[in-house]
Structure 1
Amino acid sequence: MRKEDKGTIIAQIADTVKEYSCFYLAETATLNAEKTSNLRRACFKEGIKMMVVKNALLHKALEGLDADYTPLYSSLKGSTTMFFSNVGNAPAKLIKEFRKTSEDLVLKAAYVEEGFYIGADQLDTLVAIKSKNELIAEVIALLQSPAKNVVSALQSGGSTLHGVLQTLSER
């Protein structure tokens, strides 16, 4: 590969890393063509970008960025496939679901919301991370709860008062 081509690929990897808020590194070398195709389809369906990269080029691309990605460098061995997403737990859910049918996909490391997760044992932790939309929904539900209680109390009080007045008028 020519030096100009390597520079282009490094720039492309760096731009992709900047574009997404999280990325996962996984080992996919033992996947056959059918399983790889199924994985790519699942990624497309979930809105996850999948990219197979050379470790040396990924290392140079990460070095050229503003953030410090040194904890990930030890994971850059063997073949590396990157999964990019703006939803922190989406790739983890995809990997966990895919591993039910094939043990060939192994998580190496992940960078999620400025945090590093190294090793395959972190998969359950990554699945449990709530996405931004899930957190917003929880906060809205918590904020709505007191308002619903007040409205409910006012409505029930109104019907009780109406019942008392009706009973008094009948007597």
Structure 2
Amino acid sequence: MKKEDKSIIIEKIAANLQEYENFYLADIATLNAAKTSVLRRECSKQNIKLLVVKNTLLRKALEKIEGNYEELYPLLKGNTAIMFSNDANAPAKLIDKYSKNKETVPALKGAYVQESFFIGANTLKDLVNIKSKTELIGEVITILQSPAKNVISALQSGGTILHGVLKTLSEKQN
């Protein structure tokens, strides 16, 4: 591969690293072409970008962008695929789905999620349970709405009770 071609690939990898908030490093070495295509389609459905890269080019791209990614450098051995996603746990759920089907790949090497490093396959369960920003905002809104809903409900039920009492009293006076 020519040096110019390598620099173009490094630029593309660096652009993807900056475009997406989270990325996972996975090993897909034992997948054949057909299974890799199936994985790519499944990634695409879940808004995950899958990119198989050379480790040296990925390392140069990581060195090129802002931030310190040295914790991931020891993982850059063997076959490496990057799964880019703006949803923090989507790639983890996909990898977990494959592991439940007793398939050995994609195997998690590590991840950079929400400005934190997760190293090794044993962190997969933690990554699956991470809530996305949208899920967290939804939970906060639900929590904030709960007291208001309780007050409105109490006022509505209290109004019917008060109305019933007033009606009963007016009927007794007649």
Q: What is the TM-score normalised by the length of structure 2?
A: 0.96
Query: For residues 32 and 100 of structure 2, what CA distance do their matches in structure 1 show?
Result: 16
CA RMSD of aligned residues (A): 0.8
2:44 pairs with 1:44: yes
Query: For residues 104 and 83 of structure 1, what CA distance do their matches in structure 2 show?
Result: 13
Amino acid corresponding to residue 96 of structure 1 in structure 2: D
Q: State the 1:21 CA deviation.
A: 0.2
Aligned to 1:126: 127
Aligned to 1:100: 100
Matching of residues 28-67 of structure 1 within 5 Å: 28-67=28-67
SS in 2 for 1:125: helix
Contact 1:39 1:98 in 2 (8 A): no
Amino acid corresponding to residue 92 of structure 1 in structure 2: A
| Equivalences, count | 171
Query: For residues 30 and 139 of structure 2, what CA distance do their matches in structure 1 show?
Result: 40
Q: State the 1:100 CA deviation.
A: 2.4
Contact 1:107 1:119 in 2 (8 A): yes
Contact 1:109 1:118 in 2 (8 A): yes
SS in 2 for 1:4: helix
Q: State the 1:88 CA deviation.
A: 0.5
1:25-59 CA deviation, whole Å, 9 max, x = no partner? 00001012232121111101101000000000000
Amino acid corresponding to residue 136 of structure 2 in structure 1: L
Query: For residues 100 and 38 of structure 1, what CA distance do their matches in structure 2 show?
Result: 17
Query: For residues 103 and 141 of structure 1, what CA distance do their matches in structure 2 show?
Result: 39
Query: For residues 145 and 114 of structure 2, what CA distance do their matches in structure 1 show?
Result: 27
1:109-151 CA deviation, whole Å, 9 max, x = no partner? 0000110000000000000000011000000000000000110
SS in 1 for 2:134: helix
Q: State the 1:7 CA deviation.
A: 0.6
Provide the identity percentage.
Answer: 61
Q: What is the TM-score normalised by the length of structure 1?
A: 0.98
Contact 1:27 1:107 in 2 (8 A): yes
Aligned to 1:20: 20
